[in-house]
Structures are given as structure tokens and as C-alpha cells.
Amino acid sequence: MAKLWGGRFSKATDALVDDFNSSIRFDARMYAQDIEGSQAHAEMLGRQGIIPKEDAALIVKTLGEIRQDIEDGKIEFQIDAEDIHMNIETILISRIGDVGKRLHTGRSRNDQVALDIRMYLRHEIDEISALLKALRKTLLTIAQENLTTVMPGYTHLQKAQPITLAHHVMAYYEMLRRDGMRLSDCRKRLNIMPLGSGALAGTTYPLDRAFVAEKLGFDDITKNSLDGVSDRDFVCELAFDLSAIMMHLSRFSEEIILWSSHEFGFIELDDAYSTGSSIMPQKKNPDVAELVRGKTGRVYGALTGLLTMMKGLPLAYNKDMQEDKEQIFDAVDTVKMCLPVFEKMLATMRVKKDNMLRGAKGGFTNATDAADYLVKKGLPFRDAHAAVGKMVAYCIEKDTVIDALSIQELKAFSPLIEEDFYDAVSLHTCVSQRKLPGGPAAETVKAAIEAYQKEEA
Ligand code: ARG
């Protein structure tokens, strides 16, 4: 096939180069954005008198028909037409000849691809934001149902202090809420219209850039033509935002995997969200959580790949930048696959409240509260810490727990200890007294949940 840019060439492109150079295999997915962008550009060219109005109208109409044919599976894209932009332009010209040849007036593929990728990613950001919101709502439901489900909180994966499952789940809620805010922030910087940048130096035609921006739902136009065609910050930024989502899902996955182990026994995943072993009949594996954790690597890979791809590029457009697509598309696809399955896995899991409570009872999770009790009786904190440390060592020796010691045994560690000690170190008190803002007390967490339910509505 003759190339649209073939004028100065006397030889055909080698088939190997066609194959190597072509991006149609992966950029075909931007067909709708390419067509919408071209329709807006053509309409503007007509309005500005740069091309005849009736030519503009025919281009707009024919592009609409091409879009329908693509959606009906009637079109086979050509490798040697290189990318989605030239494939569509080639089809347009094959249908309406010279009129179609007027479309690319005052435009370059460099600003065209910058436009398409922005429009495409804008759409994906909206879809991912909706999926993220659905997951956050499920977290709110789980939290609401577990306001008093006491479990051990950990640091260093060693039991630390008692918390509730609601408080734990709401920690992830906070992360995913920030992830949502990051996405909408990224959308703002991405939603700037680059057409009119031309290849790099703008154009002499009197384009109405503001009209095109408005028509295509952009908030503004790019302010420097070199930057307009060579900026991929927004792709890197989105890759980071997606990486942060995956980091959060991956940490949660790690906990789901631990919690569903026999050793923890805090949850049981639903059969529909687990898998078995081909050899060991007893097995029920948390494959969904493991795969989410595993897929995190490829999203980080996209971020690293994109930053590395951009780091040495002189202004303005360089073909290297075609490499942005497979990476960001894969990252987007991965996150879109992970979010709903992760959400359903959580929504269907069974919480083993008794095991969580038992877990909280072991490991001296109330030791801090025992020390705080002594502080309230007047002892300096460091002395209280030391006294309870000895108490813990004594319990380990006797294979028992603080609250099982008799009052005589307790008084040996501090004469300040009275009968009210037992209530002060009960798990219920440990949790319910931590009611300052941000703490795990049921009333505090409930208030947070209710505020966020309004926000999500
Ligand atoms: N397929 C190219 C890309 O994805 C489109 C822009 C090509 N521009 C050019 N002058 N070769 O980046």
C-alpha cells in the first residue's frame, strides 16, 4: 500500500520495518477517540473557512460511518498503514477521495496522537474511578458490620494492640480514597487540548483551538506547541496513580492471604473466590489475592518503563513515545481487572470473629493499657513500662496472660494495682477508650463511616 507520507521516498518500506514500526496492533483501541478528534478538527476547519463547509460535513459524516463499521467488525486494519490515525485516514480517503485528503490540514500525527491518548486515558480514569468507588463502598459495608469485631493490631507483624476489623478496613478505605483523589487530580492535568501544536511548531492556519477543546470536553488548551506534542507527564502520573492503587490492593491481598491461613484463621474466602489443588484434596487457596499481589509488579513495571522511556528524549516528538501505549494500556487493563474481582472477594468472605478475638487475647495486646493504668495512678510512664515489662516476662514464664493474674500476683509488680485493673486491661476497654479522633473505638469509626457514606452517595 502506498504510504500517506510516501512523496519523498523512492523505495517501499521493508516488511520487517513495517512490522516493527507499526502500532496498530495496540493503538487500534483508540479508534473512537481518533474519530471524535478528527470530526471536531474537520468541523472547525469548515467553520474557519480553511476547507469548504460541505467537505467538512462529508468528512464528519463519513468518519461516523467508519466508526460504525469498526464497531460492527467490518473493518480490518492494515499493518502497513502503521497506526490507528493513518488507518482511519486511509479508509476515509478510500471512501471520499480528495475531500478526505483535506482532513489532515493544519494537523500532525504528533498532536493527533497527543490528543487521542489524552481522550482515551480520560475515559479510562473515569471507569477506574467508578470501580474504585464500588470497592470503597464495599469496605464501608464490611466496616459497618464489624465495628465491635475485636482483632489484634500488628506492628512488625507482631501483635501490638487490640483494634477492630472495622478500624483495619477503614485504614484501606483512607488509602483508596486518596487514590481516587489522585486520579481526579491527574485527570485535571491531562484534560488539556493539544491540537494546534502541529508537528512541533504550531501552524499558520487560523485554527480555532478553543472551539475544538470545548467540543471535545477539554478544560483548556496547551500553551506551548513543543510541550503539547512531547508531554507524557500525564501518562507517567497515571502510571504512578495506578501503581499506588495496586500497592494498596497488594498489601491488603497479603493480609487476606495471611488471614486465610490455618495459622491465623481470621477469615474464610468464599468457595467462588478460591481455588483448589490438583494434587492435595484438602486445599483451598487464595489465588485471587495472590494474583492481585503478583500483578502489582507489572503495573510498577509500566511506571518504571515509562519514566525510563522519557528520560533522554530531546524536544519535541520522538518515536520512542509510541512505546507509552502498551505500557499504560496494560497497567490500565490490569487495574480494571483487579478492582472488581478484589471487591467481590472481600464482599463474599466470612469473618471468623471468634478467632480474631482469640488472637487479640494472646500476645499481651493489653500491655500498653496496663502501663497506662499505672500512669493514671501516678507512676511516671517509663516506670510503668518497666513494671509491666516484668509482668509480661512473669506471664510468659507461667504461660498465662496479664488479666489472668491474681490481685496478689499483680501487686507484686506495683502496689498501685487495685481491682479496677481488670476492667482497665479488658480488650473491650482497650478498644472503646481509644476514642479520640482517628482511634479504633466503635463510636469514632462509626462517625467516620457515616461521613464517608455521605461523601460516596
Ligand atoms: N503511532 C505514533 C505514536 O503512537 C503516532 C505519531 C507518529 N508520528 C510520527 N511523526 N511518526 O506515537
Are 271 and 132 in a shared domain?
yes
Q: Give the count of beta carbons closer than 10 Å to the beta carbon of residue 263.
A: 7
Q: In which domain, by residue range, is 420 found? A: 359-456
Q: pLDDT tens across 398-430, in order? A: 999 999 999 999 999 999 999 999 999 999 999
Is 277 tagged catalytic? yes
- Report CA torsion sign: 45, 49, 51, 52: positive
41 assigned to active site: no
Q: What is the tally of structural domains in the chain?
A: 3
Question: Which residue out of 8, 113, 230 has the highest number of ligand 1 atoms within 8 Å of its CB and is therefore the one to mutate?
Answer: 113
Ordered DSSP codes for 241-310: HHHHHHHHHHHHHHHHHHHTSTTT--EE--GGG-B--SS-TT--B-HHHHHHHHHHHHHHHHHHHHHHHH
Q: Write out pLDDT tens, residues 333-386.
A: 999 999 999 999 999 999 999 999 999 998 899 999 999 999 999 999 999 999
Q: Are residues 253 and 183 in the same domain?
A: yes
Cα-based angle 342, 348, 350 (whole degrees, multiple of 5): 120
Burial class (CB in 10 A: 0-12, 13-18, 19+), 283: exposed
Q: Which pLDDT score is estimated for 316?
A: 95
Domain with residue 56: its CATH number is 1.10.275.10
284/304 same-domain check: yes
Residue nearest to atom 3 of ligand 1 (CA): 322
Same domain, 220 and 325: yes
Residue 264 has pLDDT above 80, yes or no: yes
pLDDT computed for residue 322 by the predictor: 98
Is 171 contained in some domain?
yes
> 444 and 382 share a domain?
yes
Does the pLDDT of residue 1 top 80, yes or no?
A: no
Q: Are residues 352 and 373 in the same domain?
A: no
In ligand 1, the atom with minimum distance to the C-alpha of 321 is 12
Cα of 108 from ligand 1 centre, angstroms = 9
In a domain, 154, yes or no: no
Q: What is the DSSP letter of 405?
A: S
Convert 4-57 into a string of H (helix), E (strand) and C (coil). Answer: CCHHHCCCCCCHHHHHHHCCHHHHHHHHHHHHHHHHHHHHHHHHCCCCCHHHHH
What is the spatial distance between Cα 286 and Cα 227, in angstroms, rounded to a whole number? 46
Query: Cβ contacts of residue 157 below 8 Å, gap of 6+?
Result: none
* Cβ(345)–Cβ(289) below 8 Å: yes
Does some domain include residue 27?
Answer: yes
Residue 96 shares a structural domain with residue 242: no
Tell whether ipTM is more than 0.85: yes
For ligand 1, residues with CB inside 6 Å are 23, 27, 83, 109-110, 113, 319, 321-322
pTM of the model: 0.95
